[in-house]
Amino acid sequence: MRVEIWSDIACPWCYVGKARFEKALDAFPHRDEVEVVHRSFELDPGRAKGDIQPVITMLTKKYGMSEAQAQAGEENLGTQAAAEGLAYRTRDRDHGNTFDMHRLLHLAKARGRQDELIGLFYQANFAEERTVFGDDERLVELAVAAGLDAGEARRVLADPAAYADDVRADEREAAELGANGVPFFVLDRTYGVSGAQPAEVFAQALSQAWGERPGLTLIQDEAGDAEACGPDGCAVPQN
């Protein structure tokens, strides 16, 4: 079974939702038969790469709330994150463009290191003091920590076209699926789960999607005795 997760590194609920989903997945009896793929979704796609500002400033401008309201929201998110065992800096975080991080995540997918990299991106953005925005070398360090080659990561960052089409394809697909926010989880292209739901909801979705997978329909001739090979060898027609 495949689970696709549309998310953005700048999305705190994606950070929390990933932890809740993984809690459910770790307890799922068929865990080893579930493939998880991370898909790109930008919350602020029009923001220039160099346009970096404090999270509180972004929240007050974007949503028209007061600084006190924005800070209260961050404190609440910190509490929600802590409940999942996650570190979360409720003050002095930055907000910026995440397109380059999404491009690196597609490189990581090609190298089999996607889950490692997105976890490090989340940790760096929400829990560590050093910003992940506007600092290519910081992204390279995280890519190397995830198991990627530093030179290859730098080449991707230096080429704006590298994996750009993959990011845009993910975003178009999200729109086609009706996802207008993240996190958005799609199980076997049959079930969708929107938002950072409790682990129990994810557990239910996994069980339901697994149980309703279509069974194998066997097609054969009427006799049903076509030659085949098995553990005891291959049947050889006798004349």
Q: What is the pLDDT of residues 106-121, one digit of tens each?
A: 999 999 999 999 999 9
Cα atoms in the Cβ-side hemisphere of radius 13 Å centred on 175: 7
- Residue among 3, 5, 2 nearest 196 (CA): 5
pLDDT-derived band at 213 (thresholds 50, 70, 90) equals: confident
237 and 227 Cβ atoms separated by less than 8 Å: yes
Token pair in block for residue 203: 């557990």
Please state, in angstroms and rounded to a whole number, the distance separating the CA atoms of residues 133 and 53.
10
* 187-205 mean pLDDT: 96
**pTM for the whole structure:** 0.89
Residue 42: how many other CB atoms lie within 10 Å: 22
Listed in order, strand segments (DSSP E) in the chain are 2-7, 35-40, 53-54, 94-95, 184-187, 191-194, 229-230, 233-234
User: Does 222 or 31 have the greater pLDDT score?
Assistant: 31
Chain segment 8-56, per-residue pLDDT in tens:
999 999 999 999 999 999 999 999 999 999 999 999 999 999 999 999 9
Residue 94 predicted with pLDDT over 80: yes
Residue 70 predicted with pLDDT over 70: yes
Q: What was the pLDDT predicted at 9?
A: 98
* 174-198 mean pLDDT: 95
Cβ neighbors of 112 (< 8 A, separation 6 or more) are none
Chain segment 79-89, per-residue pLDDT in tens:
999 999 999 99
